[in-house]
Amino acid sequence: MFSTKLISITSNTDSFAADLVVFFSQQNKKGVLATDLSVKSKELEQAIALGDYGGDDGETLLIYPQKDPKCNDFSGRQLFVGLGSIFDKSDIELREQCRITGGLIAKAARKLKIETLSLTVPCIKTMELDDVAECIVEGLLLGDYSFDKYQKEDSKKPNHKGIKKISVYSTGKQNKMEVCLKRAKSSAYAARSARNMANEPGNQWTADSFAQYASELAKKYTMKCSILTKRDMKRLKMGGILAVNQGSSEPPKMVILQYKAKRDTAQTLLIVGKGLTFDSGGVSLKPGAGMQDMKYDMCGGAAALSVMAVVGEEKPDVNVIAIIPATDNMGGSSALKPGDIIRHYGGITSEIINTDAEGRLILADALAYGIKKYAPDCVIDLATLTGAVIMGLGHHRTGLLGNNQNFLQKVLIAGERCGEPLWQLPLDKEYSDQIKSTVADIKNTGGRPAGTITAAAYLQKFVGDTPWAHLDIAGTAWDFTKKSYIPKGPSGTGVRTLAELIRNWKKHC
Ligand code: BES
Ligand code: MN
Ligand code: ZN
């Protein structure tokens, strides 16, 4: 499934040898189609003359050109894609536009069941050619995604198996172009693998699946993988994850994957992702309607683990450790109950008010353990933690909270640059007061007001002074803002923000 070949080419003629050949067009400042198109064709000219194509942003035109006897260059299908007028756009807007354009091309390619595609990288004045190519191809690969493994194939209408080969034609420097295409591929594939994990149902993707995937990555990229079992958790007194797992017949796993940079003095980033493979709410049972969506409650873990493939491919100058506390949250006679008091790794006790506030319980153990064991310079966690973040920010922005403004700023920029925007929420002391308990050190909910913030305040108790960023992806991990390169269902959000952050790691904290 993940097998698209990407090649950078420098010969214009080669670019015509594909099932679909893509060209871009731009408009001048007044919104009039620029005439210096990289290809001339009668069919295109006719479409323009009739007013059927003006090159607006996102406009597409598919043509079937007649073979010109004087010319060897020929392709059966050509797709023209409008970029509109790009003059007043910021770098961030242009990058997003390129990805969206890539997604549009993927859509057209899927519809036509295209196997080989070539495109001529458009010249966008304020951007490097290889950056343009990277964003377009990333959008293309992100858009070229489907999940149909559990559906019977219609023999008359076989499913599209994805684009097999993309040839990228440009006059840019070849080596730079190749690096960029590789980056586009590794981040898009990592996001797609996170989507795949999320699409798997709760009876297929279990805590052990995270462990298996991590050990495969470890083998492939020679990283270190350690799996803490239930026995280890008991020995380490990880009362949070054990409590959440109590009602389950599926054993919990704490999955740890470590990448070590070459340089001994490299900084260390710890990534923790909520790997809740199904959230029924436990004894504080969720309502039935929509409960099937709670198979997606592992998207934080999926992002944390998937980005390690990018790390493995690119070998950055920063140590990266991913920890995924993984379990489901079930009810039953052995399950955790409201009123119970648990003791987290490290000793903090917590009164359980609502067993549906389980994410913070498993994350608390993972954060405290990861920080104690690996002494990271920065820590970032991703979790589908609260329904409240959807009330506040909808499905358009990830909630961001933390204890170090400098680090948060880097995360904000990383998200902005890759089309996964975040919005920071405050984390003042007053919010911590909401989770004070009369019988334990803290309690696991702070009531209805500011649910996203009190959840973060809970986690804050376990990170100490380590610069920390918390990403509440409950609204963005699935049903993310509709975009050409992000399908319905799981989005793979977080993966590319992390990749961006790691790629630009220069003393973040
Ligand atoms: N996994 C949910 C959060 C969630 C809700 C994600 C809706 C996506 C859509 C989390 O475990 C949860 O149930 N949170 C509770 C916390 C509350 C009981 C304090 C919530 O948000 O309702
Ligand atoms: Mn829950
Ligand atoms: Zn949950």
Which of 406, 372, 382, 354 has its CA nearest to residue 459? 382
- Report all structural domains of the chain as residue ranges with CATH numbers, in order of start: 5-172 (3.40.220.10), 209-503 (3.40.630.10)
Residue 458's pLDDT is: 99
CA angle 318, 273, 427 (to 5 degrees): 90
| 451 CA: nearest ligand 1 atom | 19
Residue 1's pLDDT is: 52
Let me know: does 205 contact 197? Beta carbons within 8 Å: yes
Mutational test site, ligand 1, from 285, 356, 431, 443, max ligand atoms within 8 Å of CB: 356
Q: How far is the CA of 264 from the centre of ligand 1 (A)?
A: 40
| 445 CA: nearest ligand 1 atom | 19
Told to judge if 286 belongs to the known catalytic residues of this protein, a careful annotator would answer: yes
How do strand 349-351 and strand 165-169 relate by DSSP bridges?
unpaired
Q: How far is the CA of 383 from the centre of ligand 3 (A)?
A: 8
Q: Tell me the one-letter amino acid at 438.
A: T
Q: How far is the CA of 452 from the centre of ligand 3 (A)?
A: 13
Q: Tell me the one-letter amino acid at 257.
A: L
Told to judge if 274 belongs to the known catalytic residues of this protein, a careful annotator would answer: no
Q: Report which bound ligand comes closest to the CA of 455.
A: 1
Residue 474's pLDDT is: 98
Let me know: does 255 contact 277? Beta carbons within 8 Å: no
Cβ–ligand 1 contact at 291 (below 6 Å): no
Q: Which two tokens stand for residue 192?
A: 């797609």
Q: How far is the CA of 252 from the centre of ligand 1 (A)?
A: 20
Residue 506's pLDDT is: 82
pTM over 0.75? The answer is yes
The series of mean pLDDT values per 10 residues for the chain, 509 residues long, is 85 80 92 76 90 95 82 79 94 98 97 95 93 98 96 85 95 93 98 98 98 98 98 98 98 99 98 98 98 98 99 98 99 98 99 99 99 98 98 98 98 98 98 98 98 98 98 97 95 98 84
Let me know: does 87 contact 30? Beta carbons within 8 Å: no
| 384 CA: nearest ligand 1 atom | 6
Which of 213, 247, 251 has its CA nearest to residue 327? 251
Cβ–ligand 1 contact at 282 (below 6 Å): no
Let me know: does 288 contact 470? Beta carbons within 8 Å: no
Closest residue (by CA) to atom 22 of ligand 1? 387
Residue 73's pLDDT is: 63
> Any idea what DSSP says for residue 33?
B
Let me know: does 369 contact 466? Beta carbons within 8 Å: no
Cβ–ligand 1 contact at 357 (below 6 Å): yes
Q: Report which bound ligand comes closest to the CA of 387.
A: 1
Closest residue (by CA) to atom 3 of ligand 1? 386
Q: How far is the CA of 497 from the centre of ligand 2 (A)?
A: 25
Q: Tell me the one-letter amino acid at 392.
A: G
Residue 458 to residues 143, 368, 385, 402, 462, Cα–Cα distance (Å): 37, 12, 11, 12, 8
Closest residue (by CA) to atom 16 of ligand 1? 357
Q: How far is the CA of 295 from the centre of ligand 3 (A)?
A: 9
Per annotation, catalytic residue among 110, 165, 237, 286: 286
Closest residue (by CA) to atom 7 of ligand 1? 387
Residue 435's pLDDT is: 98
Q: How far is the CA of 455 from the centre of ligand 1 (A)?
A: 10
Cβ–ligand 1 contact at 312 (below 6 Å): no
Q: Report which bound ligand comes closest to the CA of 473.
A: 1
Helix ranges (DSSP H) in 346-427: 359-374, 388-393, 405-417
Closest residue (by CA) to atom 9 of ligand 1? 387
Per annotation, catalytic residue among 95, 183, 195, 360: 360
Q: Which two tokens stand for residue 219?
A: 């083998």
Closest residue (by CA) to atom 14 of ligand 1? 386
Cβ–ligand 1 contact at 476 (below 6 Å): no
CA distance 192 to 214: 16
Q: How far is the CA of 378 from the centre of ligand 1 (A)?
A: 26
Q: Report which bound ligand comes closest to the CA of 452.
A: 1
pLDDT (tens digit per residue) in 438-464: 999 999 999 999 999 999 999 999 999
Residue 70's pLDDT is: 63
